[in-house]
Structures are given as structure tokens and as C-alpha cells.
Structure 1
Amino acid sequence: MAENKVNITDNLETLKEGEVVTDEKTGKKYRVKKNIMPHYSAGGPHGLGDPEDRTLRKIEADVIIPNRMNTQIERVECNESYMGLITCFRTDGAVSGLNTCKPALELFNRCKYEKFHDPAFRTKITDEYIAERSAARASGMTSQQRKLEEYRDWKKNNESK
């Protein structure tokens, strides 16, 4: 009859920061490191999280992804109806435009509703976000910081010519 043996690492409350623990199965030694963030958010090459992690935190799923979806909808997906609404508000005025621009607003809202409830669109935006987050975790720099570094390298190479 096999005993259900509890590993020493199953309960980290008994371990102290910096203590060395040996894995019984593999014989590898690990130094105990405790922090507030879960291991997948604090690990990785730069301490920003595991670049291969594809899980989303609650704030990413509920706030960041919908904000990115909204931006993409306004700029690309429903841009014609959005610009029609903006033009209507500019010509009729913001206050009176609330009444006169209802057809343009209805058209934009319908387009936006269809995109927000399209699972393929949400998956596409989520995959783009995870790829960007993964690159940031792997390099230790955001996409804007990477673009700035690329520009600086390009500038340095072109000045010497």
C-alpha cells in the first residue's frame, strides 16, 4: 500500500526565505524565494513573469482586453461609421447632435456590438496582447522601449556613414 507522502514544498509556510530545499525525486536543490506575486508573474528572465505563460489575470481579461478591442473597433473595424458619427457631431454640435445624429450613433453601436460579441475577434485581440506581453517579459522592455532602442541603434549606425 502506497503512502500519500506530502512534499516539503507543498506548504511554503514552514520554509524560510533563502533556505535550500532538495527535491526528493530529482535530487535538484532549490533556494526558497517568497514574494507576493504568483510564480508565473514574478519568474522569467527579467523577473516580469514567464514569457511562455498564456494565462490572463482578472484585470487583463476584464479591462485591458476590452479596452484594446474598443480601440481596434474605433480605429479599424468600424472606422467608417465612427467617423460618420464624429462628423455629424461636429456639424450639428454636441448638444443638438444627440437628437439629430441618432441614426449614425445607431449604426456605430450596431457595428460595435457585433464586434464585441464576436469570439474570433476577442481571441485575435487576446492573442496579440499575449504575444506583446510575452515579448516584453522576455526582453525586459515594453514595445515602445524596444522601438526606441531600435531607433537609437539605427540612428547610431547611420550617423557614422
Structure 2
Amino acid sequence: MANETHKTSILHEKYASGPHGLGDPEDRSLRRVEIDVMIPKKMREIARDEKCTDVVEKFTECCKNNSILMTFKCRKENAALKQCLTRWYEDEDFKNRCKEEYLNERSEYRRTGVTQKQKQRLATSM
């Protein structure tokens, strides 16, 4: 018993297992923080980058043109942006798509130990 090495962790076994100790790559369950924070963040990013690009562009342009006064001058553009984003947040198919993308990215991270940002950096540096 003296030679035995035993790792203890404060994390539940399912969050500390897997090839890199990052959790089981095949686990599809979601923690509260993932449901409340991570998936909505993914939804915001995708909606902003894919679904509401023209509205985001108009809002960004308005803000650039009005710097300090943007709070007052860009209300119409801000309202249009909120309306567009809200429409996508309420779409169940879009929500499920974002959830699946998040779970796939998490599984890949747990399998490889490489984050999405690290992969992007590697791709741009080549």
C-alpha cells in the first residue's frame, strides 16, 4: 500500500474522469452554469455573427459615428438589435442547435484537452 498513488479531487467523479481528467467526453448532461451561462453565450455569439449581421453592422456604425452621444443617437439601432437577438433566443430549434454545438465542443475538449480558442490560434498561426 505504501507505493500506491491515489489522486483525490473535490470534483465529482464524472467531472474529473476522461482521458485528460476533464470529464467524460460522452457525458451529455448539463450543469446549471452551462444551461444558464454557457449556452446563452453561445446563442448570443451565433445570433450576432450569423443571424443579425446587418443589424449588428448598423448598430456598430452608429456607435462609431456618434461616440459619446451613442446612447441617445443609436436608440433605434439598439432596439432593432435587441429585437433581432430576442427573436433568435426564443427559437427552440436555434436553442437546440446551440446546445448541440456546445456539447460537441465540450466533448472534443474533454477528449483532446485543447480548447476552441487554442485550435483557432493554431489554425491562424500555420
Q: Deviations over 1:1-36 (max 9, x none)?
A: xxxxxxxxxxxxxxxxxx9xxxxxxxxxxxx87532
Cα distance, 1:142 vs structure 2? 2.2
Aligned-partner residue type, residue 48 of structure 1:
L
Deviations 1:16-71 (A, max 9, x none): xxx9xxxxxxxxxxxx8753211211111221110100111122111111112112
Residue 67 (str. 1) matches residue 41 (str. 2): yes
* Aligned partner (choices 54, 76, 79) of residue 53 of structure 2: 79
Alpha-carbon distance in 2 for matches of 1:101, 1:54: 41
TM-score when scaled to structure 1?
0.65
| TM-score normalised by structure 2 residue count | 0.80
Match of 1:104 in 2: 77
Which stretch shifts more, 116-125 or 99-108? 99-108
Structure 1: 5+ residue stretches without partners: 1-18, 20-31, 156-161
Provide the aligned C-alpha RMSD in A: 2.5
Aligned to 1:123: 96
Alpha-carbon deviation of 1:129? 1.0
Q: Which protein has the bigger helix share?
A: 2
Cα distance in 2 for partners of 1:83, 1:130 equals 29
Helix, strand or coil at the partner of 1:115: helix
Structure 1 segments of 4+ aligned residues over 6 angstroms from their partners = none
- Which amino acid is the alignment partner of residue 119 of structure 1? E
Q: After superposition, give the CA deviation of every residue in 1:80-111 in whole Å (9 maximum; x if it has no partner).
A: 111111111222x1343323322222111110
- Quote the residue 2:21 is aligned against: 47
- State, as a whole percentage, how many aligned pairs show the same letter: 32
Q: Residues 142 and 98 of structure 1: is their aligned pair in 2 closer, same or farther, counting only changes over 3 Å?
A: closer
* Larger Cα-atom Rg: 1
Higher RCO, Cα 8 Å, sep 6+:
2
- 1:130 aligns to what SS in structure 2? helix
Query: What is the CA–CA distance in structure 1 between the aligned matches of 2:43 and 2:90, rounded to whole Å?
Result: 11
Task: Give the length in aligned residue pairs.
Answer: 121
